[in-house]
Amino acid sequence: MMIAGILLAALVLPKAPMTVVIQTVRGEARVPVRWDQSFGPVLPAPQLLAALGAEARIGAGWAEVTVGPQVFRFLLGAPLYQLDGTLRPLAGSASLRRDTLELPIQFVSEMLPRAFGRRFRYDARAARLVDNAPAPAAALAAAKPAADPNRLPNGLRKGHVVTIDAGHGGVDPGNPGIFFPNGLKEKDVTLQLSRLLRDELRERGVKVVMTRARDTLIDIRDRGAYCTEECDLFLSIHVNSLPKRPGYTRVRGFETYYLAEAKTEDAARVARMENEAIRFEDPKNAEEQLNGLDFIMKDLQLNEHLREAVRAAELVQSYLQESHTGPDKGVKQGNLIVLNTARRPAILVEVGFSTNPEDAKLMTTRASQLNLVSSLADAVVAYLLEYERKVGQGAATSAGARAGQK
């Protein structure tokens, strides 16, 4: 009976939105919706609660979310929550995913409007939750100090900088993009995606440095230098491809690399392919590259960033699932020269395979390009939020944080 009910609901309800807009007196924040196999549409609690000025406490088997005077107690992984001492049913469930609390979409679409009466209104068609609490809301003020002027509506500290590296360029076309339309090559698609990602990140209040914003070749050993002390993350955008062999056009999906010795033959292949750009560059410098990784792995600074890079790569993979129709090929490690020289956490995304027709279409159609970069931008924001919580003082690279400001 219950299963039939869920199936019916899935048939009758409109498709879950890609993002939910949270509108408060502090501004608007977009929170990505993830479709969970077991629990249906879910929202990442860190971003949602930051936008609402709310807080969560996680215990063994439960999570407590406090919004103003109300306390919602969710049973993790079960379709139940407790409010005002009463246990109530839920369509979805709250759960932990890679240490991040996720809340069912009903929290914004039903629970908040019901629990607060007029304060919250949810517009299902626009996927928008409006918080009508006046500023400064007595309820909000009780739960949280006044809105921090150094914070953006999405909860991020101001002043984050991300370097976007559009792979290849100029005389280096990257892979030939056999299923791309109009003779587009890898270098063109990485540039398109990088520009769109730049716009998405700026919209989210993140400053962006581009290694290139036009069709030009930047030496891959120089690209990392664009991510200096100021920069929080170096993100290199590439397109995968396979050499011709039986069935090669069927392989598709997305994967994200951080710098370490390649562990699998496939990862080594990607590293060789992306490192090949070196042949377009000054031959005098080519030799010193050969032992680049040995040298770099002894570099303490890079090792410190390894954990962060792995986490950023995990979040990119996790968020790309929302907008990518191909399989999640996972987080991988590879000896990628372009990641060598960044002095901050650095990752490389292979957004899809140009040797697969579906992936090629996904990466070159404007609507799906926008979805892909929106997921990438959401992943970057989620990473920065986590990073802020970890260092405990907001954007470590912002001037305020450097001055020791809490």
What are the residues whose beta carbons fall under 8 Å from the beta carbon of 366, sequence distance 6 or more? none
Find the binder of Zn ion among 187, 238, 305, 332 (CB under 5 A). 238
Sheet holding 233-240, edge to edge: 207-210, 161-166, 233-240, 346-353, 254-259, 328-334
Stretch that binds Zn ion, among 93-101, 140-148, 160-168, 285-293 (CB under 5 A): 160-168
According to the binding rule CB under 5 A, does residue 187 interact with Zn ion? no
Distance in Å, CB of 187 to Zn ion, minimum: 8
Residue 187 · residue 168 · CB < 8 Å: yes
Query: Could you give the dihedral angle defined by the CA atoms of residues 249, 253, 258 and 261, in that order, rounded to the nearest 10 degrees?
Result: -40
Distance in Å, CB of 270 to Zn ion, minimum: 8
DSSP per position, 368-381: HHHHHHHHHHHHHH
Stretch that binds Zn ion, among 82-90, 109-117, 270-278, 388-396 (CB under 5 A): 270-278
Q: Which two tokens stand for residue 307?
A: 């954990």
- Give the binding-site size for Zn ion (rule: CB under 5 A): 4
User: How many Cβ atoms sit within 10 Å of the Cβ of residue 228?
Assistant: 14
Query: Could you give the dihedral angle defined by the CA atoms of residues 351, 244, 290 and 306, in that order, rounded to the nearest 10 degrees?
Result: 30
Stretch that binds Zn ion, among 230-238, 244-252, 338-346, 386-394 (CB under 5 A): 230-238
Distance in Å, CB of 274 to Zn ion, minimum: 5
Q: Pick between residue 29 and residue 271 the one whose CB is nearest to Zn ion.
A: 271
According to the binding rule CB under 5 A, does residue 174 interact with Zn ion? yes
Q: Pick between residue 34 and residue 187 the one whose CB is nearest to Zn ion.
A: 187
Secondary structure element (H or E) that encloses residue 346, with its range:
strand 346-353
Distance in Å, CB of 255 to Zn ion, minimum: 12
**237 DSSP β-pair partners:** 166, 349
- Please give the backbone phi and psi of residue 69, each rounded to the nearest 5 degrees, phi first: -85, -10
According to the binding rule CB under 5 A, does residue 167 interact with Zn ion? yes
Site for Zn ion in 119-158 (CB under 5 A): none
Distance in Å, CB of 168 to Zn ion, minimum: 6
Q: Pick between residue 22 and residue 237 the one whose CB is nearest to Zn ion.
A: 237
Stretch that binds Zn ion, among 165-173, 246-254, 308-316, 377-385 (CB under 5 A): 165-173
Site for Zn ion in 294-313 (CB under 5 A): none
Residues that bind Zn ion (CB under 5 A): 167, 174, 238, 274
